[in-house]
Chains A and B, each alone.
Chain A
Amino acid sequence: MKHDFTELRLDRVTRRFAGAGGASFAALNELTITIRRGEFIALLGPSGCGKSTALNCIAGLMQLSGGSIWLDDQRIDTLPPEKRGFGMVFQNYALFPHMTVAKNVGFGLKMRGIAASQIAPRVEHAMKLVQLKGQEHKLPGQLSGGQQQRVAIARAIVIEPPLILMDEPLSNLDAKLRLEMRAEIRRIHRELDRATIYVTHDQDEALSLADRIVVMKDGVVQQVAVPMDVYAQPANLHVARFMGYRNVLELDVAGTDGDRVTLAGPDVRLTGTRKQPLTGTRAAVAIRPEEIFVGEGPGGLNTIGARVDNVEYCGRDSLLDVVTPSGTLLHVRGPVTTQHGDLVRVHVPVERALVYPLD
């Protein structure tokens, strides 16, 4: 099996399942992405979007209904998983409960027929890399969740695979441990510089770990971009909603001027930036709570008057729910001190009000 590659290509990969009533539905629908050597790719999306299915297809644990997968110029979707040579970290670790940690980590090397004398130093090196020395003779049942996770990672990397697959590896850990392990994964990736495909539903994980993020919904790719772009320039309304643009207002289109669109509602008049071609007379504008500021906008533009309905103090800033006279609710986040019932005026910069067609 190749130890190195230039690109992994998914070409119109489709996977169908039999649904209720005999109809089949596509968990993956013509998925096409290219992953480059050493890249850290996150597959991000809500449950059911097909990200785990995609990972299982790449690993060979699931067969494709259509399309193909290529490793440079070699077609691999016809190979069984044991011949693909990828490393995989499972969501609940899947450590072999009847083997010691050392035997677990060395299993992949043993399957490759490597002599025991050579397995030991490589296992030791992998254990050192995940910072788990001294646990070699324990059984998985004797380890904590975080330690089991590290063993699972060590087991996947010791075989020196060209590609590492991770299926929501942090979802079973508590919040503090999750942060620690995130840093660990980032460090290990930096040291090994191997292509990694990481499945998660947590946008913080994706933003902090990935070189590129693939946002998915219902088996279809919504956006492929670097984290900064997914965060600040979501390609469509679904990605925006998923990435934390909590304010989504459906308003009438009052006028357009190139990329600038003016929308109007009962007591709201906003000018925003169009991200997609608009259809019809109504559109949706998505705004981050952090990007609504208390006070008058420049020239009174994009300013809305509202009453504070709820205040959540978060230390560094506060989360406000403000309601316009006609009942439109906006979430505002910022270092403000207001009280329940206060009347405020808030504004949003034109470039940060993103306009999309209604879905």
Chain B
Amino acid sequence: MTQAFMAVLARELRLALRRRSEWAQPLVFYAVVATLFALGAAPNAPWLKVAAPSILWVGALLAALLSLDRVFRGDHEDGTLEQLFLSPQPVSLLVAGKLFAQWLVIGLPLTLLAPVLGLGLGMEPNVILVLMLSLLLGMPALILTAGFASALVVGLPRTGVLLPVLVLPLVSPAVVFGAGAVRAAQSGLPAEAPLYFLGAILVLCLCGVPLAAAAALKNALD
């Protein structure tokens, strides 16, 4: 069982190495969005610092969403999904492997880029630490949620605007607590409480999403 999980993980990482744009695109997008906000503001505008937590959080969210609608699409189109369902492995485990790889390829680089952009938006070091912690907890939850949504729409010929419409309401709690933690740190308040909430959301996603996504994929085959 762990062998199959590792095989899925290795396959996804190999695919990411072959298709560089897949992980480079979100990073470039994130950097450009954060920079454009800074360029759009008046020099030294005080509101930029106030808005920085939500800019960095929403930017990371949108960047992660860019390529997530393709997580299961290729496997559905080329027939790999059928082989996954006919294998003796639990499909939820294979789904978990795929989404873990997505986090490694997209989520983790975005989390590591955020402090650099935070510095550019004038964040203090202690605030940047909380920003990283919040993204470390929040990014996997975002990717799991978006993975579930992309499993839901995998059988549809064209998803277009459907995926964001499905995902954005589902991830709003993560954004509220994630940006909230950074804001709390900014105003010198303890940031633990929102971070704990993010942790709880992550655990909920970890337990529920692989099973729900596997069921959604099964539905796409029917």
A binds B: no
Using a CB–CB cutoff of 8 Å, the interface residues on chain A facing chain B are none
Using a CB–CB cutoff of 8 Å, the interface residues on chain B facing chain A are none
